[in-house]
Amino acid sequence: MLHHKNTLLIVAPVAVLALTLSACGDADNSANADVKESTTPKSNTAPEAAASQSEEASGGELAAGESATATVKEESGNVTYEITAEKVELGTEAEAAKLVRDPADAKGMALAVAHLKFTHKSGPALTSDSEANDSTVIYADGQKGALLIGASDDAPGCEDPYDIEGWAPSESHTLCESYLVPAAAKEVEVHWSEEDGEPYIWKFPNG
């Protein structure tokens, strides 16, 4: 996938998370605000070319409740998902300190858990665990957080991808990703992208 996440910290079982952040999105914000658009007039674009441009266009800022449709190369074949970042749950600095080997690594930090809903729209049923959530990244105030492996496994509302068997078309599952971010961050962003594509971005204000 596009994002190669460096695991910086070793975690213990996740603590209870307290604060749920609300999605940011004014009425003016369109799902396609930053999506790349063709500059060729529609009347002069052949159907094949229009389809190609549509497939190449990806990424952009999405408002609350808006979904992206993207394709993931799974072991069983290419699968198209509808993807929505539903919320981000933010813990406290004290909780974050319990999740790392050296509490000093969590000074001034909080655990951010992003909840993404993936709906299988087309393609084969999965024969192994999904790769869909591997491209989820959390940023805070424009800076990438530190990935925590396993910290969201027991978080309420999160599913373990290894427990999902035979993910079939029309099925939806909520997969989570966890990062350490500055506890005082004003805004948290959830980024997700196709391989070699631009990220889709959902923004969640802190407080």
What are the structural domains, with CATH classification, of the chain? 7-24+66-205 (2.60.40)
Per-residue confidence (pLDDT) for residue 57, from 0 to 100: 60
Tokens 């981000």 sit on residue? 88
Rounded mean pLDDT, 123-149: 95
Confidence of residue 46 (pLDDT cuts 50, 70, 90): very low
Phi and psi torsions of 180, nearest 5°: -90, 130
For the record, the structure tokens of 145 come out as 């957080």
Average pLDDT in the chain: 79
Local structure of 81: helix, strand or coil:
strand
Per-residue confidence (pLDDT) for residue 152, from 0 to 100: 80
Local structure of 32: helix, strand or coil:
coil
Predicted TM-score of the model (pTM): 0.75
Residue 24 has pLDDT above 90, yes or no: no
Rounded mean pLDDT, 108-126: 97
Cα dist from 89 to 11, 95, 117, whole Å:
17, 13, 15
| DSSP strands (E only) in the chain | 7-9, 19-21, 60-62, 68-74, 77-90, 109-122, 137-140, 143-144, 146-148, 172-182, 187-192, 200-205
Q: Is the dihedral of CA 28, 30, 33, 38 positive or negative?
A: negative
